[in-house]
Structure formats: C-alpha cells, structure tokens
Amino acid sequence: MYTEYFLLDNVTLSATENISIPVPILEYHFDEPGWNGRADEIIDYSGNDNNAVADATSLTTTDADGAICRAASFNGSDQFITADDLSALRDTATMSFWIKTAQAGSNQPYNSPGVTGIEQSGGVDDIFWGWLNQNGRIGLSVGNDNAAVSTISVNDGDYHHVVLIRDANLDTYRILIDGVERGSGNYSGSGIADVIGNSFDSIGRIEDTAGSPLYLDALIDELLVFDQILTDTQAQQIFTLQSNGQNLDGSIRDCSPPPPAVCFTDNFDRASLDSDWAVTSRSGAFGLPRIVNNRLRITDNSGNVSTAATLYRLFPSAGNRIVVEFDYYAYGDPSDGGDGLALVFSDSEIVPQPGGYGGSLGYAQKDGISGFAGGWMGIGLDEYGNFLNRNDGNKDGGFTTRVRETITIRGSGSGTDGYNYITSNGQVPGSNVLPTSLNPTIENNTGHRYRVTIDHANGVNAWVRVERDIGSGFNDVIATFDLLAQTGQDAIPTRMYMTLTGSTGGATNAHEIDNLNVCADVIERVDVVDHYELDRNVDQGLTCEAVQVASRACMDPNCNTQISGLISTEFAPATGWEASNIKTDYTSGEVFNYRQTVAGDYTFDVISSTPAIRPLSTDPVLCFVNGIQQSDCDITFVDAAYRFFTDATAPASPVSTFDLVAGEATSPFYLRALRTDPDTGVCQSLFTNASLASQLGTTCSNPNTCVSGANVTWDDSVSGGTAVSNTGTTSKTLTFGSNSTSTFGLSAPEVGIQPLAVATELPDADGNPSGEFIRGTVNLRVRPAQLEVFDVRNGSTINDGNGVLAAAGEPFTSAIRALDVNGNILQNFAETTGLYAVDWSLSTLNAPSGGVFGTLSGNAVNQSDATRWQAADRDGNGIDETLAPAVDGSGLPLGITYSEVGRINLVAQIENYLGSGFAVNSLSDPIVTGRFTPAYLQVSENTPGNAEWGSDSALYQGLTEPLTGLSYQVQAYSRNDTLLQNYVGEFVDFDSVVSPLDVPAGTNTEGNGYSSSGAGISSESLIWTIDGDNDTDGVLTFNADLANVLWSRKTGLPTADDTLQSIDTLTLSASAFTDADGICVSASSSPACQNVTLDIDDRSLYYARLSLPDQVDGTNTNAFVPITLEYLSSVNAGEPTFSVQALENDLNNGVFAGLTHNTSQVCTLLNCPPDLSNTQFSGPTGSGSTLESGLGLWTLTLSDTGLVEVNGDVPAWLTWDWDNSGVFRADSTLLLFGNYQGRAPILFTLPGGR
C-alpha cells in the first residue's frame, strides 16, 4: 500500500463577475422551419412584437445550418427580410449576429453587400451595417467612410460572431469578432449625420435610394439590436452564451420542437371500436371500418369501397402542433393492388363524410362524387398511384398518369371543387415534377410506421411534414413545407377532425392501421350528442290527450352518459309540440307534451341540435315507448283507444309497459276505454257496467320467437285465467264496472318483451256490431327472478371452490343463465336482442378473513359489457338460454380477471334489465371461487451480507458448517405487476425444500463457474419461518437457518479451480421460493422461475489436507507429532502445490481427534498394536486447544521402545493421495520410542531401510 500526496500552492479564489446583458429591442432567432412571405412569420423574441416577414417572391427562407438551430439564408441576388422597425440602427446602437459567408465586396461600402443599411445615391446620409469589403472584412460605415472595417476577414466559410457598436454622439465605432475586438476608431468622413435621416427596413441587403440594392450571400443567425452601446465584456458574454447554444438568460436552446402535451393512443386490442370513433361507408360491400385481429381495418380487398373512421376529438388549429403516428398495412395483391388510405384533417363545423372510391382514396372528388366534406388536407398513402392523377375521376391538379407507391398530399375542397394536388414523394410543392415510386413500397403486410406533423403553433404558417420508419428510424418522405402558401389552399379551420379514409377500385387490397398515437398541444373532447332517444309514455296517441315525450341527449351508443349542459333542439313534426317544436336551453331527460287533434300517422325526428349530433352517426334518433326501443319513430293518433293503468284512482296516468317477474302472477292491472268527444275534444270513458267480447293476443317481440307453450295468462275475477295466444288471438269477455274499468292480473312464464294487444268491436247506436274496433297495446316486460352463475373455469381447470382457479390478473370465464320464481331455467334469456352488460360489483371477499377485496374486471372495472358475451345453447334444445363468453380474434374466450389473492363470492348482476330499471342478480346463490394465487414473487435480502456460513472466515471443501441468518422480504405480484396484499395465511404455503442451495452464480478466480470447484453444495432441507402473513401490507419476511451445509470435496485430484476462492454469495435454487401452488420468483408473470442470490458474510474456501512429518523421534515415554494444515495454493501443469494455511486459528480436537494404527503398518514395539487413546491435541507449543497459524501438536504418551507407523485420525476432507495410488488417506508418520546414547544404530538411521 502507498499513499499519494498533493500540494496546492498559490491558489487564488475570485468571484465570477455577474455580467448583465441589456434587453435587446429586436431579437430574431431565425429558427422557424421555413418562411413564405406571410405577415409576422419571423418571430421577434425581445417582447416588443417587432415581427418580420421574408420576401415571398425570392423564396427567402431558413436553413438547418444555423449557429444555434436554424439560420436565415440569403442567396446574394434577390433574397431579403423586411423587419417591422430598424430605426434604432440610424442612431447610437449595437448589432450582434452570426455570419457564415464566402462573399467579398469592394473597397467602398456603397458598392458592397451588407447585413442591413441604406445607400443615399449622391449623398452621405447613409449607413452600412455589416458590409463586406474586397478582402472579406466586415465593417460598420457611415457616409463615405470606408475605414471602419475589421482587421480580420470573416468570409472563410465558417461561422463568426460579429458585434458592431456605433456611438452617434462621439462618431466612434467598435467591431468585435468571436469575442475579441478586431477594429475601432473614429469616423473621418465629412458631413456625417449623428442620426441617419434615410430609413430602411431590410435584412440581407443594403437598400439604395436610387433603387439598386446590393444583396448579401450568407447565412445570418441570432440577430440582436440594442439601442445602446454594449461593453466589450457584454459582447463577449453574448459570444460565450451563443457559442454554447444558450439564450441570453443562460437557458439552453432546444432545437427540436417540444413534444405535444396531450396524446390519444389506440392499439385496437379489443373486439370492437368504442365511442372514441365514428365510422361510415359511402360505397362498396365492405361495410364499416372495424377492428379485425386487433387492427383497425379501413377496407378489405373488395371493390369500389370508400369508408371513413373519424377520431372523436377536436384539434384547435391556432397555436397548436399535431403529430400523428401509426403503423400501416396494405396487402392482398402484391403486384397491382390498390388503392390506399388517406389521413384527413377537416373543418369540424361540417359533418365528415368520405369522398370518392378508387384513386380518390375516400378524400378527393370522383366523376361527380363529392370529395370529403369539409376537407382541408388529405395525405394519401397510395399503392395504385391514382391519387396524383387528375385524369382518374376528374380531380383538380396533378398529372395525367399514375405512379405506384406514392405519398401524395391534396389540399382543401368542397363538393366536387378543389382538393388540389400539392406534392408527392418529396417533390417541392408547386414544382409539378412527376415523383418516383417509394422503395420499399407502401404496400406490405409487415407494417411501416408513419409520422405526420401539422404545425400551426405560430398562428401564421401551417407546416406539414410526412416521415416514414421502415425499421431504421424516421426519414422524410415529404419535407416540411407551408400548406397555407400553396395555390388555392383555404385558411386552416378553427377546429379540425382527424379521419382515416380508405378506398379500393378495380384494383384492391386490404388496408389496416395499428398502434395509433395522436399528440397535440391541445386536444379537446367533443361535446356532442351521439344520438337522441325520444321516449314517449304510450304507444298510440289519443286525439284528446297529449303524449309525453322525454328527450334524452346521449353521449355514447348505450346512453350510459347524457349531455350534462343545456341543450337546444329543433324537433319534427313542426306542429303539435306544446309552445313550439324548438326547445332551447333544456336539460337531457326533460319531458315535452306532444298533441295531435287529427287522427293519423306522424313521425318524430330531430332537425337540428346544439350540441351537434355526432359525425357519421348512423342512428341519430332512436324512439322508445316507456323505455322499450321501437323499430321506427312513427306514432299513430286515434280517436278511441284502450289505456292501461297500474292505479285505478283517477286521474292516474296511463302506462305503456307492465313489468313482470317470470313465473310470478302479478295483479291488479286496469284497462279503461277512452274516446275523444267530437264536440268538446276532451277524453270520455266508454263501457260502464258492461261485459264485452274481446280479442287478446301477444306478439313475441324481443326475442322475436316464442318458446312453445310459454303463453301469457290473463286472469280476472269473473272468468278466471285464460292463456293468451302468441300466434293469433284469444277470445275473452272483458267486464267493465261502474268506473268504466276492467281489472285483471297477468303472469308470464318467459323473459323478454311481448306486446299484449286488446281489441273490442264497438257497438253502434242500437247496440249492434259496428265493424269499428277500439284497440290498445301494452308491453309486457318480463325479467328473471334471479341469475345463476355456473361453469366458472380457467381453460380446462373447472372451479371447485377450493383449488387454484387462476393467478391474480389472469382471465377466467363463467357462464350465466336465468331462473324463474320456481328455479326453472328460462329459455329466452340469451335470445333477447343485444344481450346484456353484466356487473360484478355485488361480489364479495370470501377469504382471507380481514383481507382486501380486489377488483373484478371484464372490459372495465366490475363490468363485462355485451360485447364480451355470446348466446349459447347449453342444454341442447336448440334455444340459446345461456350467456357464454365471446371469443377474441384469436378464438380465445373473453374472460374476467380478479386482481388479488384469495377466494371470492362471485355475483353477477344485470343492473337495468331490458330498460326496466329493475336489477336481476345471483346474490341469493353466489359462486365461491377457487383460489386466486399470485402470478409471481419477488424477493430481496433484508440485510445483504448478514448471513454467516461457519463461525469464522475460513471454509473447507468437505467440512460441514451451519449457515445462519437467511432473511428475505417476499412480495407477491399479479399478472399486471401490481403488489398483492392478500398473500397471507392459508394462501402462503411453502413446503420444506430439499437441496435448496447451489454454488454462486459468478465465476471463480480461474474465470470458470464455481460448479467446476468441488462437487457442489448439499444441506439439510430448508424450512422457512414466515412473519408478516397475518396482515395485508403486502410484505412477508422469510427467515431460516441451515445446520449442516457442505461444499462437497472434489472426487479425485483437484484442479486449479480448487485453489483458494473467495465466496461472498451462494445461490438459492428456484425451488427455495416456490410455494405449494408452484408460484415462484420471476421478473414478471411469464418468464421461468429464477434462482435467488444469497449474499453472505465473506468467506475463503480452501481445499485442505493434514500434513505430518515423515518421522518423529520420541522418548521412551512420549512422542510429539507436529501437525500442519495445508491448502491447495496452485496447480501448475497438473502438479499441485500446497501451502501452510497460516490464517487458521480455530480448528480443534473435534477435527484432529488423534492417531490411529492398523496392523498392516510397521510396529516393533513390545506391545503391538499400541494403545494410542491418550493422544492429546494442542497448539504447536503444547498449549492451547486450537491450531495456531495452521500449526498444531499431537502429544502421545507411550511407555515402550521401538518403531510404530501411525496415521492422523482426521475427517476425509483432510486426506490426500500421498503415494499417487488414487487412494486418499490421512497422512502417516513413523514414531521412534526409546532412549539412545551416541551414534544411532545404522539399522534405524533411515526409516524403512539402511
């Protein structure tokens, strides 16, 4: 070890000067993507709003090669910028800028190019900021003074920072280049004005009062103007900051535009589109865009298709930047397939509708077919190549031929006008150069990723860019350009919709997108009406009373959410509405009276709405009778009709629906006949104290077929129960009392909706049949008495209420059927239209006691909507009585998941059965599920390095030592990687683990795996003590000790891998943390079980042997046998080398038991074999009870004379192959007992020979 010393001397600490830079009056960064001559397009960042504009005629624009980000580019012939206010440069001022040029001028400023200024023809009232002389030196001249130039040139083609400073009062100038003063002095010309009288406003040229400006050929960046003199220090600070890419306040300039703040993503990994999308089809047999195999399919490969899918979001244009990314697939006909897809942005004030099929890509017009409604821009991904062809469909602009595999942009249009060709495949907009096909092609079935950017952040330009990633990153297909600068292009709409259109023609392909990501600075949710529901209280109107119509403005297809704000609606018919058919500022669900006094047929509709109705809505208005949807919105008004009531008390309101429970008799209900008094127009009752022959009949409406024998029963106190026909009519005498009311009861054996019709022929004035009938209809809405959940399973694993059902977060499935009041299975349950959304929120925790109840999820929390079910015939009678799981695009059943560990009481509920407002559920008979287990475990050592193997730092191959202090924190996780809290009690079940240990996972000192050292690790079985399994904090503590852990000694001769090794970890096998259900440690729920590292207190592992001397000379009573503990220190060319284990001070007589002798060994003592039992072990000096520095001593007391060969009585881990025989044994020595004088006998000089 050595130590380095450092000497610091003459250290000076000084405070950094806080250099304050004045606020400029002009600050142009020139970082805009490009310019096109639109007002205020060049931003002034000084805060003074002195924005500038580039000359449009000369196409002055920016270049990516800026000193910081981009720079203004001037061509030296006609390009320049017009600034709002450069008047400060006529007086005392400072101008700072970066210049990159190779241009040179002349020896006179009035005949040279410059950054800005003006030449007075024939006079000296002029100024030249940044003029270049014949040597490329830069100057600041006033009048005809040509001496005010720098001492060095700047026209070497590299960027230089220039600061020009003029003091108009003192007639002085200073020039700094790259932070160093390179020129200063006084103006010497005559007649020089303090304040220049001639004004100028150009950057990039020297203006001329005679009209002949001189233009600069250079890149100019970061132009600053100050209305004061800057010090050299301030100028140098500007240079330093801008050299480091910093703004004047020290912040770093980010040259990439900031990512948009709000994003919408859709990976289409579900069965169908949701309320975020509106879809339509204009032509072809494909139908509506839809999800197929977890992609959004815009068209299939059928012919003449035009479709659209509109994202239900609004994109404000002002100050906004929109970035759209998606994967695109086009496949079917690889040689001549067509047509393609268009990404469309349109005016949100106009309902989106697609344009023509074929080469119009659903955007442009086609032979009299209107283009996309409200279209502002369509970016076509065109396989067939006709989107750029004006001859295909009489489109505006483009070419007279097609080019396959092109990305083409068309602009704004309306009807059959516009939609002009803009550009294609990287061609400069307006150049009308025929593009070449993309390679690789757009058409492929593996998917390329596209990115489209629309940037209107500055409120002036609409920068458009199209990029493609074919696997190596995004590259421009159409470089950034300003769409607003193109001929015939409309102004950008205030708000826009984004739509994906697709088309085929005679050539066809399937077109799909996936992994859509739409980001913008601002994205607004669309507060519009998905559809209206007009729900009236009666089916048939009476001309003597008003029909009550509730208007619901729904925000989603199922009307789960209604518009919360005020609504204004214009209804149809125009007449009949109380007060007016225009209802303003009302709330959704409000009821309006509608009356017609003339019998006839009428139709309800919505003419206009605020908020507007959802774009592309196929059913904007739906009509209901007391919550039951009708096939149309027609209503018939009559002069006489039956009315049904649930209350006999006048003036009770009539009802159009009776709600029943299957199999349960319900009463009383009431029937009353009403007619319009022809004189007064008011309603009057008929049939007082009368019995009339009538006809009863039901119609199977939902479902539209009836179960055989499942007839409704009409029951009254006069004639008893009558089964009502569901295929025709049944005769029944109806008795009306003094109150003109007939009282009856009903029962229905099956669920669903059945209209019950009653018809009675009216008598004439003489009481004879008149041939005219009074009719009435009431809907019978029949619900189950209860639900039954059954066939709960996970694949082939059927729930038994005890065994494992699924991992937390793993889908499992169930089936549901319905029962009547008597427990009979209802056959019509899954035959009804639309199936049902099932709610799981009544489910409860069964175990563990005191645990937390997790979350059940289908397609949403506690919900499995109707798309996740299909009707099934489980009893084989041809009728679908069961709700069974639907399947996804891969044929896998759509299940539900439970997020926690434990068992639950699974309860299904249909909250609003067929719109009745009544819930039906399985609460009376919940299903107890089997166990939900963790998906995987994760562990961490509580105190790494705390576990100890043995009592000191030395370990030996073959020596058993205890391993103590194993302690881990164990946490369980779901398939969704959420921490589980219920992994407690009975759900934590770990058996004893056989062979839990293995060698470390790393490499040994020889660079090999530790498995090459020794013969592996063995131990007793591992039994964990588990703490923390009686709470629900999600954390368990596993502790254990292992009494006998052995790094087995290698069989045969050792190798270099058995030399001294440092051991700081061991490996716990995967089985050590695998519970009785097979749940184990893993990085997530899918990879294989993982071993766990055990970090132990550092140990040194030795391969050791006991070494004894060849001969020990004793006395006639004692022999002192030295012991040496040796370890394998090296192996060279197969030859082992052993060294003294000088660090060992702990081994005792438990290891060194004594000496042994066997009869095959030499013994010349008087008493053979000798008694060696009194051999004593000690330290090397005869004291102590342990080795000292690897040395020890055996003391043997034996009263005898002669020779005896003895062996060390030691365990096998201290043996060695001493004679290369392949047999490992303890070392031996020859003991000599007796007292001798003089020279020792020759016979015994050397053991075993002379």
List beta partners, residue 297: 290, 512
Q: What is the mean pLDDT of residues 1215-1224?
A: 94
In a domain, 287, yes or no: yes
pLDDT at 1250: 23
* 1115 & 1189 share domain: yes
Helix (H, G, I), strand (E, B) or coil at 1007: coil
* 830 & 973 share domain: no
Residue 915 has pLDDT above 90, yes or no: no
* 1017 & 1091 share domain: yes
CB 831 within 8 A of CB 877: no
pLDDT at 334: 77
- Provide the sign of the torsion angle of the four alpha carbons 977, 979, 982, 988, taken in this order: positive
Distance between CA atoms of 792 and 265, rounded to whole angstroms? 34
Distance between CA atoms of 140 and 115, rounded to whole angstroms? 10
Find tokens 């896998």 and name the residue: 892
- Read off the pLDDT band of 1083 (50, 70, 90): confident
Domain that holds residue 945: 936-1102
Distance between CA atoms of 1201 and 1199, rounded to whole angstroms? 7
pLDDT at 607: 92
In a domain, 249, yes or no: no
Distance between CA atoms of 51 and 10, rounded to whole angstroms? 53
Helix or strand holding residue 242 (H, E): helix 232-243
Q: Which residues are CB-contacts of 1187 (< 8 A; sequence separation ≥ 6)?
A: 1123, 1125, 1144, 1145, 1146, 1147, 1148, 1179, 1180
- Read off the pLDDT band of 765 (50, 70, 90): confident
Of 906, 831, 814, nearest in space to 872 by CA = 831
Task: Measure the CA angle with vertex 128, ends 127 and 130; round to 5°.
Answer: 150
Helix (H, G, I), strand (E, B) or coil at 1011: helix
- Read off the pLDDT band of 329 (50, 70, 90): very high
Label residue 668 exposed, middle or buried (CB < 10 Å: 0-12, 13-18, 19+): middle
pLDDT digits (tens, 9 = 90+) for 851-886: 999 999 999 999 999 989 999 999 999 999 999 999
The tally of domains found in the chain comes to 7
Share above pLDDT 70 across residues of the chain, in percent, rounded to a whole number: 97
What mean pLDDT is reported for the chain? 92
Q: Which two tokens stand for residue 128?
A: 């030249």
Of 320, 321, 340, nearest in space to 465 by CA = 321
List beta partners, residue 570: 582, 608
pLDDT at 76: 96
* 1196 & 1059 share domain: no
* 556 & 625 share domain: yes
pLDDT at 298: 97
Determine the distance from the C-alpha atom of residue 165 to the mean position of all C-alpha atoms in its chain, rounded to a whole number. Answer: 55
* CA dihedral angle for residue 425, residue 426, residue 430, residue 436, rounded to 10 degrees: -50
Residue 833 has pLDDT above 90, yes or no: no
Other beta carbons less than 10 A from residue 44's beta carbon:
21
Amino acid at 1010: Y
* 483 & 628 share domain: no
Of 143, 110, 149, 115, nearest in space to 130 by CA = 115
Of 176-190, 251-265, 499-513, 612-626, the range with the highest mean pLDDT is: 499-513
In a domain, 9, yes or no: no
Pick the last residue of a domain from 746, 763, 783: 783
- Read off the pLDDT band of 258 (50, 70, 90): low
In a domain, 428, yes or no: yes
pLDDT at 7: 44
* 1098 & 1117 share domain: no
* 138 & 236 share domain: yes
In a domain, 329, yes or no: yes
Helix (H, G, I), strand (E, B) or coil at 109: helix
Residue 1239 has pLDDT above 50, yes or no: no
Find tokens 């729900």 and name the residue: 535
* 798 & 775 share domain: no
- Provide the sign of the torsion angle of the four alpha carbons 684, 690, 695, 697, taken in this order: positive
Q: What string of H, E and C letters represents the secondary structure of 737-764?
A: CCCCEEEEEEECCCCEEEEEEEEEEEEC
pLDDT at 190: 60
* 470 & 485 share domain: yes
In a domain, 1134, yes or no: yes
* 775 & 820 share domain: no
Question: Which phi and psi angles does 703 have, rounded to 5°?
Answer: -75, 170
pLDDT at 13: 41
In a domain, 14, yes or no: no
How does DSSP classify residue 1225? B
Of 912, 968, 1190, 1233, nearest in space to 1081 by CA = 968
Across 726-842, where does the E strand assignment appear?
Answer: 730-736, 741-747, 752-763, 769-783, 786-794, 797-798, 804-807, 813-819, 838-839
Other beta carbons less than 10 A from residue 358's beta carbon:
29
pLDDT digits (tens, 9 = 90+) for 768-804: 888 889 999 999 999 999 999 999 999 999 999 999 9
In a domain, 721, yes or no: yes
Q: What is the mean pLDDT of residues 958-968?
A: 96
Mark residue 865 as left, alpha or beta (left: phi above 0; alpha: psi -120 to 50; beta: remaining).
Answer: beta
Distance between CA atoms of 1097 and 1144, rounded to whole angstroms? 17
Across 456-509, where does the E strand assignment appear?
Answer: 463-469, 474-482, 495-503
- Provide the sign of the torsion angle of the four alpha carbons 1158, 1159, 1165, 1166, taken in this order: positive
Q: What is the mean pLDDT of residues 193-213?
A: 94
Q: What is the mean pLDDT of residues 1116-1139?
A: 95
CATH number of the domain where residue 501 is located: 2.60.120.200
Across 1029-1117, where does the E strand assignment appear?
Answer: 1036-1047, 1061-1068, 1092-1102, 1104-1107, 1111-1113
Distance between CA atoms of 996 and 1070, rounded to whole angstroms? 8
* 573 & 709 share domain: no
Q: What is the mean pLDDT of residues 1125-1144?
A: 96
Share above pLDDT 90 across residues of the chain, in percent, rounded to a whole number: 80
pLDDT digits (tens, 9 = 90+) for 283-313: 999 999 999 999 999 999 999 999 999 998 9
Pick the last residue of a domain from 637, 655, 686: 637
Distance between CA atoms of 858 and 896, rounded to whole angstroms? 4
CB 1017 within 8 A of CB 1045: yes
pLDDT at 442: 93
Question: Which phi and psi angles does 187 have, rounded to 5°?
Answer: -75, 135
Distance between CA atoms of 444 and 451, rounded to whole angstroms? 17
CATH number of the domain where residue 704 is located: 2.60.40
pLDDT at 505: 93
Pick the last residue of a domain from 519, 550, 585: 519
